[in-house]
Amino acid sequence: MKRRTALKFAAALALTTSLATGAVCAETIKIGAAAPKTGPLAGGAAVSQWPNVTLWAAQVNERGGLNVGGTMMPVEIIEYDDQTNPGETIKAIQRLATQDEVNFIVSPYGTGLVVAAAPIFARYGYPLIAVSAITDQQPALSKQFPDMFFTLGTTSALAEDTVKILTDMREAGQLGNKIAMVNVADAFGIELADVARGKFNEAGFEIVYDSSYPLGTQDLSPVIKGAKAAAPDAYVAWSYPPDTFALTEQAVIEDLQVQAFYTAVATPFPAFGARFGAAANGVMGPGGVNVDDARFQEYAKAHEAVTGAKPDFWASATTYASLEIFEQSIEAVGLDRKAVADHLRTGTFDTVLGPISFDENNNNQAFWTVGQWQDGVFKGVASRNRDGSVPVILKDGWQ
Amino acid sequence: MDILITGLLLGGTYALIAMGLNLQYGVARIMNLANGEMLVAGGFAAFWMYTAGQISPFLTIFLLAPLTFVLNWLIYRIMLQPLVKRAKSRGQLETDSILATFGLSFVMVGLMLSVFGGDYFNYSYLARPIVIVGDTFALNRVAAFLAAVVICGALYLWLNHSRAGLSIRAIAVAPDSARLVGINVTHLAALAFGLGGAVTAVGGALLSTYLTLDASTGVIFTLKALIIVIMGGVGDVRGTIIAALLLGIVETLVASLLDPGLTLAAAYTLFILILLFRPQGLCGKKPT
Amino acid sequence: MTGTDIRNLILSAIALGICALLPLSGSGYWLSIGVTIAMFTVLATSWALFSGPTHYISLATAAFFGVGTYVTGLGFETLPFWSLIGIAGVIGAVLAALVGLATLRLSGVYFVIFTLGLAELVRQVITWFQNKSGQKGLYVLTDISEAGIYWMLLSLATAVFLTGWLIGRSRLGFALRIIGDDETVAVHSGINSALSKVLLFMVPGSVAAMTGAILAPRYVYIEPSLAFAPMLSFQVVIMALLGGAGRLWGPLVGVIPFTLLWESISSNFPQQTTLLLGVAFLIIVYALPRGFVGLLDDLRHRTRARMAEGVA
């Protein structure tokens, strides 16, 4: 008899605890995030990805949470380090979907890792709002994975708009006809250089120096010296973070006199402006934002206050916008993932970058393509369907 | 001439990357896979001193060298010596040290990540042009090259003309016989390991004046250092210097005259060719 | 074939059958861990087939693996998938034979670093070609499921174990054991040590290339920095050595606990994953000087001793 009572008691206890924890779970929205904290892409993710996840969660919870059908539910972030290894990304997303049973998952970081995770998102019905995945394969990918969305633009748009900016400068009589172009020999650089090469030729530019260098090259001075010997009017490098710094430093040292100077990933990082100071003035790169926009300024301020670091002028705000999109979609249709995915397809979202909506290929049609350092800020100079771009300035020496 | 000097400067960088590992592997017989992390840690220290206190990396190294020497000496005494004692054969030690230092490299990446974060770090130091026989070069690279010359020169003199140095060379050549003639192998191996670590960390501090690093980049330097040490021949300072300079010049030649896209391919081809024709490396002793 | 052999074969077949049922459990999570375990079992076991008896530590796994993923990446639209695995296997074997022939004169650490340099060279050359041809990133969009990949890896693992078992019983295996013990003795007793080593080196080369070809659809996006990541070579070595490279099943008992440990650290300590993985390595190295095989042997001896005591 006694034993039975004890058993009953235990069962009741177990039931209440499980109910209690169940109740707690129901009150928070679990958001999963897996991206590099270590490995080759960790440096980029530490700037553009992780701080925004932290910032967004802090801001939402400060407001009391997300409004789901009238109840305020705080968000809980579950994060994993995928070590820049696609195998680990796959495992981490699996874990988030099946073990942690999170409500939504933030996109991984870097084209290769995002695309490797896409099948898992699709299998468990999680919508994927990709940010740091720039590709021309968007139609094919969104056909295979109907709930995969793209925000940061396409390879072609980035390359085309860069060529267009230079063409406009030439038409205005600011720039000669000779282009020096280099690229990092990795998928990203190869893809961009390939598109740009065609567009430069089409626009009647003369490519006087065209070369690539391997990832992890420790001395890029031959690349700058080679370009300098060809006496170009504009210099374009489809580069990765360490090389972006190294190429620019070499250009300063060699005093490479060009009217336009472009380097790719990491140019919009605050560290770039801090590193080169006045010499950065006039350097162009991918992305850009409307820095005069009050929304962006407010975001940048909050970013610095919460995470202790400034946002970059490209993927940071877009990453944050992707979370705002989730936020608005959840508040509109609730926690049902299918409903959210459908809502993403049709809705228009008011983000820090301005309105975002997705076309029939799940592609965001409004994004920044080219930015330029002007007086210590990286301002957008070209975009697709975005307001607030400023006129481009000539690269006037390195002082 | 321009290519030659650029190549030499790059070679100096490579010598800084590889010299410490050569001491550690050649004498202490530890294939230290955490070598690159020690280099990045040195770079972090220089970065921090420079941004926080405007202290020149060339001063930081005088503080860094004794600190990292002690640290590496302790690593050897505490972590690696038990493995050396336990190992029944050379192969066993090689296996164990690969496993242990691989673990150590993870630990160091993790520590640097939690202390400094995962962000890229670099700073502008001596990023000015300097003209040498009509061509411009980066002053920070030239300065690091000169430091490399001083470090390598000092090491060479010390190894060849001091008693401790001679004993260390004796261990590198024949560890068992060295013991027989009354050389305290354990003591000197710890010394060499500590010294190697200090050289690597100092190299990292110098490199950080012109390379962009982050907590995870160490492995790139470990790989490069392994290649250079093996190419030059294990346990020989001259070999490492020659291999580093050769690699620097060949990479620059290919980048300037052929295609920058092939620099690393050329470097590895050179490495493989050298091993095919000299299996013991450029200056290595033939295994007996 | 002795009675023990038959018993072992039957037990292995049963174990394999149970493993093959994993995808039917419906848990995608355990399936993804299963794929990881199967992948490293294949790579580490085949690695140990060569490195166990010869004591040569090869860091070329990533080179062969990367070549395999590129075979699938370039050919999956024109050729049936199974043929790509075969092609990758052949290319891997040929490449391994070339490397083997080139590295005959190298010993010890020179061989280790040579294979490392080789992996990087292959990666550089492929990157350069990709750049020259303007070949964009390769997207392997197929409908091959994770379960399909798992079964293919499991079949490959079976093939590797059978190969290993057959080698162990063959003249080649005998020759290799002698080479491993003392190469001079081997040469004097008329063993063609060079040929034996090259033949054996072709096994891990071919297997790693096939593994890469099988896994390419899982990674979807193929680029050199991911396909040729040197970390893979190190992971394989670490797992095989932690298990014990001296026995056919040694790597397996390294891979399973290691993968589970890796998984539990990654899931429980997302902020300090790398740090704790390193600490775990160090503990294993110091606590298990002879790998998991040594641990199991000790346990077996102890139970036997205790049983003997019990009988006495």
Q: Please tell me the predicted confidence (pLDDT) of residue B37.
A: 96
- Please name the residues between 200 and 239 in chain C that touch chain B, using a CB distance below 8 Å: 230-231, 234, 237-238
CA distance C155 to C168: 20
Chain C residues whose beta carbon lies within 8 Å of the beta carbon of residue B25: 109
Tell me the CA end-to-end span of chain A in Å, nearest whole number: 90
> What confidence score (pLDDT) does residue B142 get?
94
Instruction: List all residues 6 or more positions away from C237 whose beta carbon is below 8 Å from its beta carbon.
Output: B98, C47, C57, C58, C59, C61
| Beta partners for residue C222, in sequence order | C138
Q: Is the pLDDT of residue A331 over 80?
A: yes
| B2 with A37: Cβ contact below 8 A | no
- Answer yes or no: do A185 and C130 touch at CB < 8 A: yes
Q: How confident is the model at residue B181 (pLDDT cuts 50, 70, 90)?
A: confident
Please identify which residue in the block is written with the tokens 């796959």. A90
Whether residue C64 contacts residue C205, with contact meaning beta carbons closer than 8 Å, is answered with yes
pLDDT of residue B184: 84
Nearest to B211 among A42, A185, A218 (CB): A218
Neighbours of B53 (CB within 10 A): 10
Indicate if A278 and A236 belong to the same structural domain: yes
- CB–CB of A207/A261 below 8 Å? no
Q: Name the least confident of A121-130, A260-269, A383-392, B167-176.
A: B167-176
Q: Tell me how far CA of residue B99 lies from CA of A261, B1, B93, C42, C212, in angstroms.
A: 46, 44, 10, 20, 25
B90 touches chain C (CB under 8 A): yes
A98 within domain boundaries: yes
Q: Are residues A280 and A331 in the same domain?
A: no
Within 81-100 of A, beta carbons closer than 8 Å to C belong to 81, 83, 85-88, 90-92, 94-95, 97-99
CA dihedral over A256, A261, A262, A263, signed as positive or negative: positive
- Stated pTM of the model: 0.88
> A15 and A116 in one domain?
yes
Contact B264 A219 (CB under 8 A): no
* Minimal-distance CA residue of chain A relative to C121: A214
Q: Cβ distance B231 to B276 under 8 Å?
A: no
Residues of chain A contacting B267 with CB distance shorter than 8 Å: none
Report if residue B95 sits inside a domain. Answer: yes
Q: Is C158 on the interface with A (CB under 8 A)?
A: no
**Of the segments A187-201, A367-381, B104-118, which one has the largest average pLDDT value?**
A367-381
Q: Tell me: the pLDDT tens digits for B19-59?
A: 999 999 888 888 899 999 999 999 999 999 999 989 999 99
- Report the amino acid identity of residue B138: A
C127 reaches A (C-beta below 8 A) = yes
In the stretch 251-280 of chain C, residues with CB closer than 8 A to chain A read 263, 266-267, 270-271, 273-274
In a domain, A359, yes or no: yes
Residue A258 falls within a domain, yes or no? Answer: yes
Nearest CA in chain A to B125: A275
Identify the segments of chain C with pLDDT beneath 50. none
Give the SS3 label for residue A236: strand
Q: Are A214 and A240 in contact (CB under 8 A)?
A: no
Q: Chain-wide mean pLDDT for chain B? A: 89
pLDDT for residue A371 is more than 50: yes
Instruction: Tell whether the model's pLDDT for residue A24 goes beyond 90.
Output: no
* C275 occurs within a structural domain: no
Residue A225 to residue B216, Cβ atoms within 8 A: no
Chains touching chain C, criterion 3+ CB pairs below 8 Å: A, B
Contacts of A124 in chain C (CB under 8 A): 28
Any domain includes C286: no
pLDDT at B266 > cutoff 70: yes
In a domain, A392, yes or no: no
**Mean pLDDT calculated for residue range A10-39:** 65
Q: Are residues A13 and A126 in the same domain?
A: yes
Radius of gyration from C-alpha coordinates of chain A? 23
pLDDT of residue A15: 42
Domain span including residue A126: 8-154+292-368
Mutate to test the interface with B, among C104, C118, C121 (most CBs of B within 10 A): C121
The pLDDT value given to residue B17: 94
Neighbours of chain A (3+ CB pairs under 8 A): B, C
Residues 6+ apart with CB under 8 A from A3: none
Task: Give B271's contacts in chain C (Cβ within 8 Å).
Answer: 114, 117
Residue A274, domain member (yes or no): yes
Whether the CB of C26 is below 8 Å from some CB of chain A: the reply is no
Inter-chain residue contact A223 with B260, CB threshold 8 Å:
yes
Q: Residue A313 to residues A274, B175, C57, C131: CA-CA distances in angstroms?
A: 13, 58, 46, 29
Closest CA to B38 of B16, B9, B56, B55: B16
Neighbour subunits, B (≥3 Cβ pairs < 8 A)? A, C
Q: Is residue C7 part of a domain?
A: yes
Measured distance CA(A53)–CA(A50) in Å, rounded: 5
Residue B177 confidence (pLDDT): 80
Query: Do both A29 and A120 map to the same domain?
Result: yes
Please name the residue of chain B whose CA is at the shortest distance from the CA of residue C120.
B268
| Domain span at C175 | 3-229
- B271 in a domain, yes or no? no
C-beta of residue B271 within 8 angstroms of C-beta of residue B283: no
Nearest residue in B to A224, CA atom: B256
Say which residue, B287 or C297, is predicted with more confidence: C297
Quote the CA–CA distance of B256 and C225 in Å, as a whole number.
24
Touching check for B116 and chain C: CB below 8 Å? no
Q: Which residues of B touch C110 (CB under 8 A)?
A: 230, 275, 279-281
CB contact under 8 A, C229 and A85: yes
CB contact under 8 A, A186 and C225: yes
**Same-domain check for residues A118 and A76:** yes
Judge whether residue A23 has pLDDT over 50: no
Q: Give Dmax (Cα) for chain B.
A: 58
C-chain residues near A118 (CB < 8 A): 220
For the cut 50, the answer to whether the pLDDT of residue A11 exceeds it is no
CATH of the domain at A196: 3.40.50.2300
Based on the domain organization, do A241 and A134 belong to the same domain?
A: no
User: Whole-angstrom Cα distance, residue B288 to residue A326?
Assistant: 68
If phi > 0 it is left, if psi is from -120 to 50 it is alpha, else beta; for residue C301 that is alpha
| Angle separating helix axes B2-26 and B218-232, nearest 10 degrees | 90
Evaluate whether C163 touches C17 at the Cβ level (below 8 Å).
no
Q: Provide φ and ψ at C223, rounded to 5°.
A: -140, 155
Task: Determine, yes or no, domain membership for C10.
Answer: yes
Does any CB of chain C come closer than 8 Å to the CB of residue B78? Answer: no
CA closest to A310 among chain B residues: B119
From A16-25, A92-101, A309-318, the region with the lowest mean pLDDT: A16-25
Q: Do A87 and C36 touch (CB under 8 A)?
A: yes
Q: What residues of A are in contact with residue C127 (Cβ under 8 Å)?
A: 185-186, 214-215
Q: Is C105 helix (H, G, I), strand (E, B) or coil?
A: coil
**pLDDT higher than 70, residue A135:** yes
Confidence check: pLDDT of A62 > 90? yes
- Residue B111 has a CB neighbour count (10 Å cut-off) of 17
In a 10 Å sphere around its CB, with 0-12 CB exposed, 13-18 middle and 19+ buried, how is residue C168 labelled? middle
Same domain, A245 and A318: no
Give the C-alpha distances (Å, rounded to integers) separating B29 from B21, B226, C238. Answer: 10, 13, 19
The C-alpha of C113 sits at a distance from chain B's nearest C-alpha, in angstroms, of 6
Residue range B91-134, pLDDT digits in tens: 778 878 888 998 999 999 999 998 888 888 888 888 888 888 88
- State which residue of chain C sits closest to B110, comparing Cα positions: C275
In angstroms, the CA B105 to CA B222 distance is: 10
Burial of C140 (0-12, 13-18, 19+ CB in 10 A): buried
Higher pLDDT, C170 or A14: C170
Counted across chains A and C, CB pairs separated by less than 8 A come out at 121
Chain B environment of A221 (Cβ under 8 Å): 6, 137-138
Assess whether pLDDT exceeds 50 at residue B88.
yes
Q: Is residue C296 part of a domain?
A: no
Among A282, A273, A183, A229, which residue's Cα sits nearest to residue B136? A229
Does B260 sit within 8 Å of A269, measured CB to CB?
no
Beta carbons of C223 and A37 less than 8 Å apart? no
Find, in chain B, the residue whose alpha carbon is nearest to that of C123.
Answer: B265
| Token pair in block for residue A223 | 């690349």
Are A19 and A122 members of one domain? yes
How many domains, in total, are found in chain C?
1
Residue A223 covered by a domain: yes
Residue B284 is classified by DSSP as: P
Interchain contact, C226 vs A112, CB within 8 Å: yes
Interchain proximity B259–A211, CB inside 8 Å: yes
- How does the average pLDDT of chain A come out, rounded? 90
- Among residues A247, A165, A218, the alpha carbon closest in space to that of A179 is found at A165
- Shortest distance between the Cα of B15 and any Cα of chain C, in A, equals 18
Q: Which residues in chain C are closer than 8 Å to A191, comparing Cβ atoms?
A: 136-137
Q: Angle A210-A212-A218 (CA atoms, 0-180°, nearest 5)? A: 130
- pLDDT score of A21: 43
For residue A51, pLDDT beyond 80: yes
A14 and A139 part of one domain = yes
CA distance linking residue B67 with residue B76, whole number of Å: 14
Looking at chain C, which residue has its C-alpha nearest residue A33? Answer: C270
Report the number of distinct structural domains present in chain B: 1
Say yes or no: A103 and A218 in one domain. Answer: no
Task: Tell me if C277 is assigned to some domain.
Answer: no
Out of A38, A47, A246, name the one closest to residue B216 (CB).
A38
Structure tokens at A369: 């393509």
Instruction: Find the helix packing angle between B185-207 and B2-26, rounded to 10°.
Output: 150
A394 within domain boundaries: no
Q: Is C172 on the interface with B (CB under 8 A)?
A: no
Q: Going by C-beta distance under 8 Å and a sequence separation of 6 or more, which residues neighbour residue A67?
A: A73, A331
Q: Which residue of chain C is at minimal alpha-carbon distance from A210?
A: C132
- Same domain? A29 vs A70: yes
What residues make up the domain containing B114?
2-227
At B61-77, the pLDDT tens digits run 999 999 999 999 999 99
In a domain, C104, yes or no: yes
- Among A269, A238, A240, A235, smallest CA distance to A255 is for A235
Q: Does B111 touch chain C (CB under 8 A)?
A: yes
Question: Is residue C8 domain-resident?
Answer: yes
- The arithmetic mean of pLDDT across residues B157-175, rounded, is 84
Residue of A50, A85, A215, A221 to mutate for B, most B C-beta atoms under 10 A: A221
Domain count, chain A: 2
